[in-house]
Structure 1
Amino acid sequence: MTEEAAAPTAGATGVRDAVTVRMPADSAYLSVLRTATAGLAARLDFTLDEIEDLRIGVDEACAMLLSQALPGTDLTTEFELNGNGMRVAVSVLTADGRLPARDTFAWTVLSALAGDVNAHAGPDDRVTIVLHKHRDGVESA
């Protein structure tokens, strides 16, 4: 498991932090990811309820992806923090690049918890779920 420290980078809204966590695509490691999610959300002054929603949302996205991850591969999670909130992109290599179904209860729950949610597949069959969580009362730019 590797974790890259927050690296300030210049963006359209000023300074933002980016953190990448890479770990085996195995549910045994998800507690580490939930803890990292909560810690980063706390840096942005999310409420306790927002932090818990985000932790559960990231956990749900991982569960969707782990079910189709190729054995022996990594789960990669990229966090981007900015003044408006947090963007979380969770991805794994898969055999067929199949996107999670959006008409399921799990997707509905994920969308309710995390705010804006999307999924896409890359040319190497890497499937990514992207969550955008904005702080209450803060609109995206």
Structure 2
Amino acid sequence: MTEETETPAVDLTGIRDAVSVRLPAVSAYLSVLRTATAGLAARLDFTLDQIEDLRIAVDEACAMLLRHAVPGTDLLAEFELTGQEMTVRVEVNTLGVSSPNREDFAWMVLTALADDVDAISDHADHLAIVLRKRRSPARPS
């Protein structure tokens, strides 16, 4: 005679996933972040268009940062998945630059592709760009 035990149901709605990727601050490595972005957005069931928007936005944000990155340092990307939203923070140590040019075409691209975009600098030689994208509600069939 075997005793059956019931496995309790797990509620995944409150789960928060966080992924960090550290790589050399060189454009040759950006394909790694584009792939990570697409894979993580797919976990949240983003549409193909939303996934592509995020990939392009992350690529643009990194390109903006890499222009000012200290040679030989790392770029850090942090992805946070909560419910129906993904937040991506990319950051580098800079050569005295603490704010992106918000009049630049790249900044306009970022604001068009992401739901929220912000630049954060906690000191003069460090810059981060934070993007947020929310999953669109499911369309009725």
Q: TM bucket by the smaller chain?
A: 0.7 to 0.9
Consecutive unaligned residues of structure 2, counting only runs of 5 or more, are: 1-12
**Equivalences, count:** 126
Q: Compared with structure 1, are the counterparts of its residues 121 and 97 closer, same or farther at alpha carbon in structure 2 (3 Å cutoff)?
A: farther
Partner of 2:97: 97
Written as runs of structure 1 = structure 2, the 5 A alignment for 1:61-140 is: 61-123=61-123, 125-137=125-137
Larger Rg: 2
Structure 1 runs of 4+ aligned residues shifted over 6 Å read none
The percentage of aligned residue pairs carrying the same residue is 66
2: CA distance between counterparts of 1:31 and 1:44? 20
**When the two structures are superposed, what TM-score results if normalisation uses the length of structure 1?**
0.85
Separation of aligned partners in 2, 1:100 and 1:123: 14
Amino acid at match of 1:88: V
Root mean square deviation, CA, Å: 1.4
**Secondary structure of the corresponding residue to residue 137 of structure 1:** coil
Task: Give 1:126 shift.
Answer: 1.4
1:17, 1:82 within 8 Å by CA — same for their partners in 2? Answer: yes
1:17-56 correspondence runs (5 A): 17-56=17-56
Residue of structure 2 equivalent to 1:3: none
- In the superposition, the TM-score normalised over structure 2's length comes to 0.85
* Equivalent-residue separation in structure 2 for 1:17 and 1:73 (angstroms): 26
Is the Cα contact below 8 Å between 2:96 and 2:124 reproduced in 1?
no
1:54-105 Cα offsets, whole Å, 9 max, x none, are 0000000000000000000000000000102100000000021331111122
